[in-house]
Amino acid sequence: MFDSDPTAFLPLNPRVFAILLALLEGPAHGYRLKQAVEEQSNGVVTLDPGSLYRSIAKLADDGIIDSAPPPISEAGSDARRRYYRLTELGRAVVAAEATRLRGLLAHADRGRLLPG
């Protein structure tokens, strides 16, 4: 049974948050997720295959992501690839984490920790 309260999953591990952010762009296979996470973080967040697939398995078990058919543009490219997508709960979880982080950044800004 999945917990339907998105805040029950917070705070997210930064790698998990990055994976979920990458899935906002649409379904992706594991290697594409690895690339997207590294691109969006300018190489700060990296994922080795073990941590990536452990995270994917946990997110799937929690009902945050599920399997998806390959996008039409990639259909038939490699039948071994498994694609993943955010569930409705997953979208709520990533939004809740973004909101939580925005609150922390607002506090840091009030403390004059952020440039500009």
The label of the residue with tokens 């809740």 reads 96
Q: What is the pLDDT of residue 91?
A: 98
Asked, for residue 26, whether it belongs to a domain, the answer is yes
Q: What is the pLDDT of residue 3?
A: 72
Asked, for residue 1, whether it belongs to a domain, the answer is no
Asked, for residue 47, whether it belongs to a domain, the answer is yes
63: buried, middle or exposed (CB in 10 Å: 19+, 13-18, 0-12)?
A: middle
pLDDT of 1 > 60? The answer is no
End-to-end CA distance of the chain: 45
Asked, for residue 116, whether it belongs to a domain, the answer is no
Asked, for residue 115, whether it belongs to a domain, the answer is no
Condensed to tens digits (0 to 9), the pLDDT of residues 20-78 reads: 999 999 999 999 999 999 999 999 999 999 999 999 999 999 999 999 988 777 656 66
Asked, for residue 97, whether it belongs to a domain, the answer is yes
Are 69 and 83 in contact by the 8 Å Cβ rule? The answer is: yes
Are 84 and 65 in contact by the 8 Å Cβ rule? The answer is: yes
Q: How many CB atoms lie within 10 A of CB 86?
A: 23
Alpha-carbon distance 46 to 11, whole Å? 19
Q: What is the pLDDT of residue 52?
A: 97
> For the chain, how many structural domains are there in total?
1
Structural domain including 95 reads 8-110
Asked, for residue 2, whether it belongs to a domain, the answer is no
Alpha-carbon distance 8 to 21, whole Å? 18
Asked, for residue 71, whether it belongs to a domain, the answer is yes
Question: What CATH number has the domain bearing residue 76?
Answer: 1.10.10.10
Q: What is the pLDDT of residue 109?
A: 94
Look up the pTM and report it. Answer: 0.90
Q: What is the pLDDT of residue 76?
A: 61
